Amino acid sequence: MTADKRQSARSTVHTVIDIMDLATDSVIGQLVNISEGGFMLRAHIELPVNRLYQLKMAYADAENRIIKMEFGAESLWGQEMADSGLFWYGFQIIDISDETIQRIQELTEMWES
């Protein structure tokens, strides 16, 4: 079994959050879990792995304000879910602002409270 190389624990998503490709402005999948270093998403389409993406996502905070984030990520792996037409993908975040890191921390704290 391969050792987990994550530097921070991921928080499981408790709502539907779409991840969009900035280049095409299209949804590539829904967030499953996230940390400042990476995330996993569930997709209805097959995505290339070992590819760099510029991505964005938005969610409603505790006061119901829409919070938007943009970041760069590399797809590290992908796996088809047995006979479902869905795929799991793991991403490493490689380009992220301090502001976006703070927003991710706030988002995960909101789920944990």
Note the pLDDT tens digit of each residue in 12-45. 777 889 999 999 999 999 999 998 899 999 999 9
- The ranges assigned to domains in the chain are 11-112
pLDDT reading at 2 higher than 60? no
pLDDT band at 4 (very low <50, low <70, confident <90, very high): very low
DSSP one-letter string for the chain: -PPP--SSPPEEP-S--EEEETTTTEEEEEEEEE-SSEEEEEESS---SS-EEEEEEEEE-TTS-EEEEEEEEEEEEEEE-TTTS-EEEEEEEEE--HHHHHHHHHHHHHHH-
Secondary-structure class of domain 11-112 per CATH: mainly beta
Question: What does the pLDDT read at residue 3?
Answer: 39
Q: pTM for this structure?
A: 0.85
